[in-house]
Amino acid sequence: MIEQWQKDIKDSIDDAETLEKVLGVPASEVREIIEKYPLRITPHVLKTIQTKGDALWKQVVPSVDEGQEDAACASEDPLHEAEDSPVPNLVHRYPDRVLLFVTNQCPIYCRFCTRKRFVGSPGTITPTELKQVLDYISAHTEIRDIILSGGDPLMVVDMLLERILKGLRAIPHLEIIRLGTRVPGTLPSRITENLCQMLKQYHPVYMNLHFNHPNEITPEVAKACGMLADAGIPLGSQTVLLEGVNDDPAVMKQLMQKLLAIRVKPYYIYQADLVQGTHHFRTRVEKGLKIISALRGHTSGMAVPHLVIDAPGGGGKVAILPQDTLLYVDDDQAVVKNYEGKRFRYPQPTAAQETESPSGAQENTELFKGLALSFVPFHDE
Ligand SMILES: *Cc1c(COP(=O)(O)O)cnc(C)c1O
Ligand code: SF4
């Protein structure tokens, strides 16, 4: 039986001629780009595009900019995922968690994708490959967390997804299973009662959903997220900071607030990776920091995600924070600045109480040595 979501995939825009007919983009301009980097726009996403060149358009409509050379974005695999892959489809970079590529298929093909090198090409994990992956995880008892990714793990049929989940759940030391997916926000018809019933058999299951703009949160998407949350799946969000899409504190604040309202807890905002064909989406790091400053204190702490740089070369995710909140720290006190720019003193417990001071505090003491404190009044006085 063909399900509605499969019909929606069939009805998606995936070639230059249809794109020209529906959105007026000259086929001759983007045909070559699409051959290299596949195109897919679901009917749902098409509906959410409001104007030519808006935030949704930029994410899904191919552009000639993707063919431009850029020295910084010359790599197809800037995170060196291939190097950290002990068996096909698996990336083992961190001590206790692994990333599994389930399929190369996605509901849409985001023009800025970090995995532009393979998304959209045919390919879903085979039974033999799955067995290799399960054997590897079974043999590595330090692995307690797996992220199903791709491509998008919700692009496979329930039966295959369940086979994977069942195999994973048979491994006693694997504590949590996460799914990283853009499906709920772009192909909400995929979130069916059957899927939710199936997923809840394999708890603890978490999901991190990809959202980049408040316009993505439609009534259909809200309903899909509600169904997943009702199935007991804690929902988090991941957002990529993108030039001309969401590089604006007001837009990001609205996105984070809207996510919370549909029961999705903001988790990560990423600085865009150095991927070939995506240079035009990159923003300066200061912009990300400014966005975090505009969120912290100004809205619910629940709405403030971690801003991360996925270190080029495979260094992993590094969280970065605005550097201006801890003004001073020594043996006796710390001085902090709040979101309104007011200063506050936090007295330290006496140094003798501490067995060993964490290295960070030591560095900070060095960093702030000699800083004059008296030039601005404190707000606890
Ligand atoms: C992002 C990522 C993870 C998960 O990282 P968390 O910070 O735990 O969410 C795991 N493995 C790889 C290779 C990743 O890129
Ligand atoms: S859904 Fe995710 S993996 Fe797929 S194209 Fe978009 S960013 Fe890439």
User: pLDDT of the chain along its 381 residues, tens only?
Assistant: 899 999 999 999 999 999 999 999 999 999 999 999 999 999 999 999 999 999 999 999 999 999 998 889 989 999 999 999 999 999 999 999 999 999 999 999 999 999 998 999 989 999 999 999 999 999 999 999 999 999 999 999 999 999 999 999 999 999 999 999 999 999 999 999 999 999 999 999 999 999 999 999 999 999 999 999 999 999 999 999 999 999 999 999 999 999 999 999 999 999 999 999 999 999 999 999 999 999 999 999 999 999 999 999 999 999 999 999 999 999 999 999 999 999 999 999 986 655 555 555 555 555 555 454 544 556 654
Query: Does the beta carbon of 179 lie inside 6 Å of ligand 1?
Result: no
* pLDDT tens figures, 64-85: 999 998 889 989 999 999 999 9
Q: Which ligand is closest to the CA of 119, given by its number?
A: 2
Peptide bond into 151 cis (omega under 30): yes
CB of 41 closer than 6 angstroms to any ligand 2 atom:
no
DSSP 11: T
Q: Catalytic site residues? A: 93-94, 97, 106, 110, 113, 115, 273, 310, 317
Determine if ligand 1 sits within 6 Å of the CB of residue 99. Answer: yes
Instruction: Indicate whether residue 148 lines ligand 2 (CB < 6 A).
Output: no
Domain ranges of the chain: 71-319, 326-372
CA of 38 to the centre of ligand 1 (A): 25
Which residues, 6+ apart, have CB-to-CB distance to 263 below 8 Å? 225, 226, 229, 235
Which tokens is 125 given? Answer: 């994990």
Please name the helix (run of DSSP H) or strand (run of DSSP E) that holds residue 179, with its range, or none. Answer: strand 176-181
Pocket of ligand 1 contains residue 60 by CB under 6 Å: no
The first and second tokens of residue 122, run together, are 């045919």
Instruction: Read off the pTM.
Output: 0.92
Nearest CA to ligand 2 atom 7: 113
Ligand 1, atom nearest to 81 Cα: 13
Give the distance (Å) from ligand 2 centre to CA of residue 25.
Answer: 22
Q: Which atom of ligand 1 is nearest to the CA of 268?
A: 9
Tokens 């408040």 appear where?
214
| CB contact burial 275-313 (16+ within 10 A = b; e otherwise) | bbbbbbbbbeeebbbbbbbbbbeebeeebbbebbbbeee
Q: Which fold has domain 71-319?
A: TIM Barrel (3.20.20)
